[in-house]
């Protein structure tokens, strides 16, 4: 009898796992895919999808591609490695140090965007822009230094389900650790992100740059 019950218990576990292992997940405090399409209070989602970088240094070109697609300036058929490497060459992206704030901002400005950029960004600034429908490009210490797009936010203070706010990124590198993630969205505790929002000595060993951001809006929308 004990053997039968044990086998039954194991079967139930396996069935449960089989039913959930293929569900998409963004990983994090709050799961993007559990919230997507909901009217959950405090949830902002701009629907920016991440393009998946194909090298370890082309996160900035990948981010630019996602911004271009979001604003209707790049077709889905152009979201490929050929475009990625063309943008990398145009920006001067380096396999050693990636792409600097100036390189990415300059390229976006040259290709039809008004740019507000610099250091000293804040979570409140990100949230205010998201409320206006404007994604915010950030560079932080993930993977040593990494570009991503803040495209969503979940304010846990407006919900009893979570203890921490969650920030959602269109993340060009998320496929390296989350395979079933169709929109390439990563999610992090907003507090954790804020504490890691700095450049890890990549571009200037003498000075840590903190809270780098780029707000890019199309010139032709003005």
186 neighbors 26 (Cβ within 8 angstroms):
yes
What number of other Cβ atoms are within 10 A of residue 171's Cβ? 31
- Report the Cα–Cα distance between both ends of the chain, in Å, rounded: 74
Specify the range with the lowest mean pLDDT, choosing from 14-18, 62-66, 207-211.
14-18
Give pLDDT, residue 81: 98
Weakest-pLDDT range from 133-137, 161-165, 194-198 = 161-165
| Torsion angles phi and psi, residue 137, rounded to 5 | -80, 135
Give the chain's domains with CATH numbers: 26-221 (3.90.70.10)
**Using one digit for the tens of pLDDT, what is the confidence trace for 107-147?**
999 999 999 999 999 999 999 999 999 999 999 877 778 99
Q: Are 67 and 216 in contact (CB under 8 A)?
A: yes
Q: What is the pLDDT of residues 64-108, one digit of tens each?
A: 999 999 999 999 999 999 999 999 999 999 988 889 999 999 999
Neighbours of 18 (CB within 10 A): 9
Measured CA to CA in angstroms, residue 101 lies from 51, 61, 117, 139, 208 at distances of: 19, 12, 8, 8, 13
Q: What is the pLDDT of residue 106?
A: 98
Highest mean pLDDT (candidates 30-34, 120-124, 201-205): 120-124
Q: Which residues contact 69 (CB under 8 A, 6 or more apart)?
A: 49, 51, 75, 76, 79
The pTM (predicted TM-score) of the whole model is: 0.82
Q: What is the DSSP letter of 210?
A: B
- Percent of the chain whose pLDDT exceeds 70: 79
Query: What average pLDDT is seen over the chain?
Result: 84
């Amino acid at each position: 009898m004990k053997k039968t019950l044990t086998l039954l218990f194991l079967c139930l576990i396996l069935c449960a796992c089989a039913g959930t292992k293929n569900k998409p997940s963004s990983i994090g405090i709050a799961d993007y895919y559990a919230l997507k399409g909901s009217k959950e209070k405090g949830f902002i989602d701009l629907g920016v999808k991440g393009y998946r970088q194909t090298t370890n240094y082309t996160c900035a070109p990948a981010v630019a591609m996602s911004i271009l697609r979001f604003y209707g300036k790049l077709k889905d058929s152009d979201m490929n490695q050929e475009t990625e490497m063309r943008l990398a060459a145009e920006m001067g992206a380096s396999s050693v140090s990636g792409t600097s704030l100036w390189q990415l901002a300059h390229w976006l400005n040259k290709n039809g965007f008004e740019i507000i950029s610099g250091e000293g960004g804040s979570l409140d600034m990100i949230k205010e822009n998201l409320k206006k429908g404007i994604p915010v490009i950030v560079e932080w210490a993930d993977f040593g230094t990494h570009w991503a797009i803040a495209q969503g936010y979940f304010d846990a203070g407006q919900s009893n389900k979570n203890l921490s706010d969650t920030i959602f990124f269109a993340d060009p590198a998320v496929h390296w650790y989350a395979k079933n993630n169709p929109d390439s969205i990563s999610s992090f505790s907003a507090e954790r992100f804020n504490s890691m929002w700095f450049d890890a000595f990549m571009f200037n060993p003498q000075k840590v740059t903190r809270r780098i951001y780029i707000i890019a809006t199309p010139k032709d929308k003005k």
